[in-house]
Structure 1
Amino acid sequence: MSNNQEGLRRYIVMSKDSYLADPLNIASLQPSTGTIKLATRARVAAPAPKMRVLDSLHENGPKLVEMGPEGELSLRLSSPHLKIIPEVFYHRQWERFRVHQRPARPAGKRVAVKKAKKTAAKKGAKTADAGRMKLAAGVSVSATSFKVSVVASSGGRPIGGAHIVAFTNFAARQGSEATTGANGQATLKLLSPNQALERVYVYAPPGFWGFYAANTTGTKLAQIKLTPIDVRDPTLLLTQLYGKLPANAGTGVTVGIIDSGVDGTHPDLRNVTGGLNCVSDEVRGNPAAAQNWRPALTEGEHGTHVAGIVGGSGSASGFRGVAPGVKLRSYRVFPDHPRPPLNNGASNFDIAKAIDTAVAEKCDIINMSLGGGPKDDLTRAAIDRAIAAGVVVVAAAGNDDRQPVSFPAAFVECVAVSAMGRIGSFPKTSIGSSDVASPKGSPLATDFVADFSNFGPEIDTTGPGVEIVSTLPGTSHGSLSGTSMACPAVAGFAAYLLAKDAALKPKTGTDRSRALKDALYACCKPENFGRDYEGFGLPLP
């Protein structure tokens, strides 16, 4: 019974009354390779629909099921005590642009190409890929392109693995992209050297700052120089804000990282104590895969970067996160490979499983640097259970360029975090320069709300989210931007507060989660961005 056949869809079935309920604890609603025959609706001349239970959160908890639209209608009618929720997906909240459309070839050139091909065909020439055919007017028929060389600013060493994204029309995401090889060179196809480029982003490999240019051409960008990152640089924003916190900040506190997995072998992340692979599709047929909480094979660096912001120890490199004394747990919800069609998001079912596990494993704080999906009752119910257990849930507000706060951060139970930056904490040529926008801070006008950050009345705090340097898989470090980066800085600061306040630790349940949130908000300093951009402000010691 495939999700791609017969219009099958995936849903979460749960009780309308509570997260755990006895009616869900029956044999027919336990995971199985078989199918359940559902009741046929009156006036529907069709065979009885079927449903398959794929996974379950506890024997008497929410079920991940697969059925067709008729099955969903039948179950809704025959079981009014159940709530049927579509499976939805949330995404990493980092800022990373991609090309969606290739540049259009000029109309005159398209006509010339057709004429040239027709002439060549009459002469018996091979036209499928004839190379560089010359027109009578001297116009080249082949697609134009140009090469870009990326080197280190010091010494000129070629840099491989730099991803170049050049937009001719940024709003339409039209342009070309390519990645440099070992020789530091990349070819941008379908663009001419003198063509106007509205924006160019270079996403650097570990160890280097990225690069940004606006209103330029390929000729001007023939060679791009990347600046190396110094993790001990005192002007790094995380260091400016939290570098004076104690080296043992957060001791005795456990933070759960619900993300793309964490590299616990990184020298600066020796405080990762374990975790769980919560991706149901990977674990269902291979229970041993539950221990694969390491970075996902696709875009897995996100979770390791987030973890380093919360609690990078700095013992090896000199880099440190906000609360180096914390224990970290990794709950992977992003899959190794995108689900068809190209869905690399995290399922709400897997997120709920991660929240449940984090609570069961005594996490004090949960960080969720994800969002962008629709509001859903399952994620909210799981968050409610975490809050009731005394856990504080910190979530990224989203990177939709000043759109409303995304879910799950928009749930009032979460600490919703926007992203701010500071001019001077990153090189002028880095990608962070593209994120500088109003509103600016007052009296510190070098502070700003990131151009990508969402905003709204749900915002509780702001946090450092522009060009934040942190750990990457292996032994390296790099800079990323997004509310994904601001969120763990706030989570780390909350861990610092919980560890140092003896009055908070004995509290339990909602009293504890409420008290910790109150303590966090009391430490916030307004940047004067405005209420909907910063909430209570920026948490500072």
Structure 2
Amino acid sequence: MPGQPGAPDGGGQEAPPPPDGEAARGMRARADEAPGRRVGERKKQFLVAPQQAPGLAAIGPFGMPSPALQPPSLQAVEKALNDHPDIDVVRTVGTAGMGPLGIGAAAGGGTLVARMTDDKARALQQQTQGQLVIERDQHLLLHEVMPRQPAMVNSLAVRASATLAFRMVVLGKDGTPLPDAEVALFGGLLPAGGMTDARGEVTVTLYGDSPHMVSGVYVKPRADYWSFYQRDPDLGTDEANVIGLRPLSDWPQLPDFPKRSAIGWGQRAMRLDQLPPNFRGQGVKIAVIDSGADNRHPDLKRIQNGVDIIGKNPDSWNQDVLGHGSHCSGVIGGADPTFGIHGFAPEAEIHVCKLFPGGQVSQLIEALDYCIEQQIDVVNLSLGGVSPSPALEQRIVRAKQAGIACIAATGNSGGPVQYPAASPNVLAVAAIGKFDEFPRDSYHVETLSTDVDASGYFTAKFSCFGPEVDVCAPGVAIVSSVPPANFAAWDGTSMAAPHVTGLAALMLAHHPALQAQGGMRSAQRVDALFDLIRRSGRRVTQSGALRTGAGMPDAPTAFGLGLPGQQAMQAPLGSMAGAMAANAMFDPAINAAYLGMGAPRAPAFMAPLGFGYGGTRVGW
């Protein structure tokens, strides 16, 4: 057969035999003599920290309990690493005087950041017998929904093939060209896409021999317009293909937006508009650990505190090149009463911890140290990693002990809940949508699942699920602020988590039970807050707790407003008796679902307007 010694190679000649061991060594020797840099394994960044004693950390290395043996001090570990010729100590995070920008970090153990090879890290782990946490300093991801995931390795190697050039023109209101709009074509042999120029034009070249190979066209505007998606589009190669986008202000729920302020559909769904008008989050500190927040935006002008964890520049935390942190901050604290979207807690004190682009676990640890130092009450984490981090978990536990409530997005891979949302010490938020809250030709349609209830609520296809999910919140077609003074409708559990963060801030500021004992910061207060949020959950969609947890938090229910047993929210919540007393004011069916005992399902959704299932196009 081809490729074997003596066998034809398809061209009438015999294929050469593979090199034996001596020949292979000779080939490597010749390569070593060639000029240039040899490709080999590089040193990677690792986190090294003394393992905390049992009871202080939720998990130890590789999920094992911490050993009873007293771990070495951080100073001893640093000296040993510095003495090793193959290990480079980069910096220390989490010890006094070593916090971000030189601010003294929280009391407690620190973490070393060091560079070494994988083999050296494994050897070090074995030598220390579990006394040290040694893990890769993982790069974190912002939980943003992507229209497609790039293939890891494509087996195609296209050398010669027919190509199709599609001239795409994207126009806005009154035929205005829209620059910087992302255009992607699905189908063909390889992915294809591009960005529109100042004329709103882009030429997208696709490998293939027929326009019928294109299975979809997606357009994502930079801001102020709804996205566009057309399955099986009718495209031509001999003339321009024109796509007109709808302004956000054309949507009936956003008349004359943003000149006329509006309450987002997520805030309405959680009934923020039914709380007393003086519930505005006064006196509560919120941290948004994200890509920064542009406080030039009219909705974000009240934000005056921040730190750039990556650049270590005290003046760059408000430079948000991604827009993600600005979007999350707008949902939480949008504050202009006459412009844009109303945030949940417009008078809360928001601190911005800039971690993206480029954030790693070590920098997230620094950001949590900043939160401990600044006595932050609630942290929004619309980010995630690849796998659990024992070093990060220790810092999350320390933050909780300092009274900080961490609220995290579950992730957008459509698989198991990602970390840190998977931590038992945070509140994990999944995403839901509502099918009548976005245009029917927008990409938001692609987030629809078959799990839709009678009110149109559905679990978003992208939302991660599992037993770690605590609650769900609106995370599809969420309109919020983006730099410099614009708005965009985005999808993601990143957008769901800020809804719950904003509600948590209001509860810490105004809920009598959480104001007891002067609002003392403690892990017990965090548990009481999370318990109240879960118990306010309202059943949405027809899925179970693995996808929606205790349901969508309801703001009036969380405060006991207008409900029988309203006085129950005055009960102390640090005990089982207090939790049972607070539980008395909620619907038994919802409580049964929260406690895992099951609850009656909502009536089957009858597919109004020709809604299709099973991957078919929505029949609108």
TM-score, scaled to structure 2: 0.70
Distance 1:184 1:99, change over 3 A: farther
State the alpha-carbon separation in 2 of the partners of residues 372 and 23 from structure 1: 28
| 1:312 and 2:334 correspond | yes
Corresponding residue number in structure 2 for 1:303:
325
Q: Which runs of 5 or more residues in structure 1 are unaligned?
A: 39-47, 114-140, 284-288, 336-343
| 1:533 and 2:547 correspond | yes
Please point out which of 100, 125, 135 is paired with 1:85. Answer: 135
Indicate the SS of the match to 1:516.
helix
Task: Please say which of residues 143-152 and 187-196 is displaced more in the overlay.
Answer: 187-196
Indicate the SS of the match to 1:219.
coil
Match runs of 1:60-71 below 5 Å: 60-71=109-120
For residues 273-313 of structure 1, the C-alpha deviation after alignment (integer angstroms, 9 at most, x for no partner) is 3111112xx44xxxxx254212454xx21111011111111
**Counterpart AA for 1:292:** S
Query: Is the contact between residue 263 and residue 341 of structure 2 (CA under 8 Å) also seen in structure 1?
Result: no
Query: Is the contact between residue 146 and residue 193 of structure 1 (CA under 8 Å) also seen in structure 2?
Result: no
Distance 1:384 1:180, change over 3 A: same
State the alpha-carbon separation in 2 of the partners of residues 534 and 69 from structure 1: 38
Displacement of 1:28 after TM fit?
Answer: 7.7
**Counterpart AA for 1:8:** K
**Counterpart AA for 1:311:** G
Corresponding residue number in structure 1 for 2:165:
145
| 1:455 and 2:492 correspond | no
Task: Find the structure with the greater CA-based Rg.
Answer: 2
Displacement of 1:399 after TM fit?
Answer: 0.6
State the alpha-carbon separation in 2 of the partners of residues 534 and 518 from structure 1: 15
Indicate the SS of the match to 2:298.
coil
| 1:267 and 2:298 correspond | yes
**Counterpart AA for 1:37:** D
Corresponding residue number in structure 2 for 1:509:
522
| 1:276 and 2:307 correspond | yes
Query: Is the contact between residue 235 and residue 424 of structure 1 (CA under 8 Å) also seen in structure 2?
Result: no
State the alpha-carbon separation in 1 of the partners of residues 491 and 315 from structure 2: 29
Corresponding residue number in structure 2 for 1:240:
268
State the alpha-carbon separation in 2 of the partners of residues 197 and 103 from structure 1: 19
Displacement of 1:24 after TM fit?
Answer: 4.0
Corresponding residue number in structure 2 for 1:222:
241
Indicate the SS of the match to 2:304.
strand
Corresponding residue number in structure 2 for 1:294:
318
State the alpha-carbon separation in 1 of the partners of residues 146 and 114 from structure 2: 33
| 1:486 and 2:503 correspond | no
For residues 462-491 of structure 1, the C-alpha deviation after alignment (integer angstroms, 9 at most, x for no partner) is 011001000101111111100000011111
| 1:424 and 2:474 correspond | no
Displacement of 1:243 after TM fit?
Answer: 5.1
State the alpha-carbon separation in 2 of the partners of residues 103 and 408 from structure 1: 31
State the alpha-carbon separation in 1 of the partners of residues 459 and 121 from structure 2: 44
Distance 1:77 1:35, change over 3 A: closer
Corresponding residue number in structure 2 for 1:120:
none
Distance 1:50 1:94, change over 3 A: closer
Displacement of 1:359 after TM fit?
Answer: 1.9
State the alpha-carbon separation in 2 of the partners of residues 195 and 323 from structure 1: 50
State the alpha-carbon separation in 1 of the partners of residues 230 and 470 from structure 2: 33
**Counterpart AA for 1:411:** S
Select the structure that is richer in helix. Answer: 2
Indicate the SS of the match to 2:398.
helix
Displacement of 1:164 after TM fit?
Answer: 0.7
Displacement of 1:438 after TM fit?
Answer: 2.4
Corresponding residue number in structure 2 for 1:158:
177
Displacement of 1:395 after TM fit?
Answer: 0.5
Indicate the SS of the match to 2:185.
strand
Please point out which of 162, 187, 190 is paired with 2:203. Answer: 187
Displacement of 1:58 after TM fit?
Answer: 1.1
Query: Is the contact between residue 164 and residue 178 of structure 1 (CA under 8 Å) also seen in structure 2?
Result: yes
For residues 494-537 of structure 1, the C-alpha deviation after alignment (integer angstroms, 9 at most, x for no partner) is 11112111331323311110111112112211114311111111
State the alpha-carbon separation in 1 of the partners of residues 335 and 307 from structure 2: 22
Indicate the SS of the match to 2:180.
coil
Distance 1:386 1:240, change over 3 A: same
Task: Please say which of residues 528-537 and 49-58 is displaced more in the overlay.
Answer: 49-58
Query: Is the contact between residue 148 and residue 187 of structure 1 (CA under 8 Å) also seen in structure 2?
Result: yes
Displacement of 1:400 after TM fit?
Answer: 0.8
State the alpha-carbon separation in 1 of the partners of residues 538 and 123 from structure 2: 54
Query: Is the contact between residue 193 and residue 218 of structure 1 (CA under 8 Å) also seen in structure 2?
Result: no
**Counterpart AA for 2:536:** C
Query: Is the contact between residue 161 and residue 204 of structure 1 (CA under 8 Å) also seen in structure 2?
Result: yes
Displacement of 1:35 after TM fit?
Answer: 7.8
Displacement of 1:413 after TM fit?
Answer: 1.2
Query: Is the contact between residue 148 and residue 224 of structure 1 (CA under 8 Å) also seen in structure 2?
Result: yes
Corresponding residue number in structure 2 for 1:472:
482
Corresponding residue number in structure 2 for 1:54:
91
Query: Is the contact between residue 201 and residue 212 of structure 1 (CA under 8 Å) also seen in structure 2?
Result: yes
Corresponding residue number in structure 1 for 2:446:
434
Task: Please say which of residues 65-74 and 97-106 is displaced more in the overlay.
Answer: 97-106
Indicate the SS of the match to 2:514.
coil
- Matched length: 471
Displacement of 1:434 after TM fit?
Answer: 1.2
Please point out which of 418, 435, 442 is paired with 1:406. Answer: 418
Corresponding residue number in structure 1 for 2:406:
393
Corresponding residue number in structure 2 for 1:45:
none
Query: Is the contact between residue 261 and residue 337 of structure 2 (CA under 8 Å) also seen in structure 1?
Result: no
Query: Is the contact between residue 196 and residue 216 of structure 1 (CA under 8 Å) also seen in structure 2?
Result: no
Query: Is the contact between residue 460 and residue 534 of structure 1 (CA under 8 Å) also seen in structure 2?
Result: yes
Query: Is the contact between residue 82 and residue 88 of structure 2 (CA under 8 Å) also seen in structure 1?
Result: yes
State the alpha-carbon separation in 2 of the partners of residues 356 and 349 from structure 1: 11
State the alpha-carbon separation in 2 of the partners of residues 148 and 271 from structure 1: 40
State the alpha-carbon separation in 2 of the partners of residues 239 and 539 from structure 1: 11
Distance 1:163 1:461, change over 3 A: same
TM-score, scaled to structure 1: 0.80
